[in-house]
Structure 1
Amino acid sequence: MTAAGYSGTPLAQKLGIAEGLRVFVWDGPREYRDLVAPLPARVRFAKGLDSDVDLVHVFVTARERLDRALRTLRQTLRPDGIVWVSWPKKASGVRTDVTEDTIRAVALP
């Protein structure tokens, strides 16, 4: 996927999706795998969250859901696990109470 204004670095690489990682996508778009393609070798997608997951990409539109997701991740994901949070930009027209400041407040208490 290429678009004006974006670097040539693949999205999977930007997100840290590396060879052999096990990835869990929390409430992400159905076409997630297409969006992050091409993927490094042996990347696997988990159907559920467990301690064997290396990277979680969480999609949220509400602070409450972010808070719940991060509480669950703190209890389940191992300490060296990677977490990415995505939320709609204000210009998207999607109603949300999540901002970059919200992410910091909830993720880094």
Structure 2
Amino acid sequence: MAKTLAERMHLRSGERLLLANAPDGYEATLAAPSDVEVSTEAAGTFDVIHLFVSTRAALEADTPGLKALLNPNGKIWIAYPKGTSKQLSADINRDDIRGYALTVGLQTVAQVAVDDDWSALRCKVVG
């Protein structure tokens, strides 16, 4: 049986998740365990953050503040439009995100396809 997106993104029961700039319907696509606390408000701290960006400006504006909301050992997924997307356009790609992440103390450690239009990189805090 195929894994759900939540399973592929290592979302675990009891975690607190922030969805930042997520597209409509993303929470249903994610199919998180029922006891995951999902928020769209950046208040408090989180075990997991899913950030959606389509521009370098959005990446640079949102990432540092969201990183500050991560619990110790938390992870941030940065989703970006696939180059093959027929619906979305972007001025950033995987390599841009990897390079920028290092400048703010994040290291990319995994990648998943979210859907036909989005891919995401999992980042962990380093240092």
TM bin (shorter chain): 0.7 to 0.9
Q: 1:27 deviation in Å?
A: 0.5
SS at match of 2:2: coil
Q: 1:13 deviation in Å?
A: 0.7
RCO comparison, higher one (Cα < 8 Å, 6+): 1
Query: Counterpart in 2 of 1:66?
Result: 59
Structure possessing the higher radius of gyration over alpha carbons = 1
TM-score by length of 1: 0.83
Distance 1:52 1:71 in 2: 14
Query: Unmatched 5+ residue regions in structure 1?
Result: 1-6
Q: 1:75 deviation in Å?
A: 2.6
Q: Which has the higher strand share?
A: 2
1:79 and 2:76 are equivalent in the alignment: no
After superposition, where does 1:10-49 map in structure 2 within 5 Å?
10-37=4-31, 39-49=32-42
Q: Of residues 74, 79, 84 in structure 2, which corresponds to 1:91?
A: 84
| Superposition RMSD in Å | 1.6
Distance 2:3 2:77 in 1: 17
1:53 and 2:53 are equivalent in the alignment: no
Q: Contact 1:19 / 1:43 at 8 angstroms: preserved in 2?
A: yes
Distance 1:75 1:82 in 2: 11
Query: Unmatched 5+ residue regions in structure 2?
Result: 104-127
Q: Contact 2:18 / 2:41 at 8 angstroms: preserved in 1?
A: yes
Distance 1:85 1:17 in 2: 14
Q: 1:9 deviation in Å?
A: 1.2
Q: How many residues align?
A: 102
SS at match of 1:90: coil
Q: Contact 1:28 / 1:58 at 8 angstroms: preserved in 2?
A: yes
1:8 and 2:2 are equivalent in the alignment: yes
Q: Which has the higher helix share?
A: 1
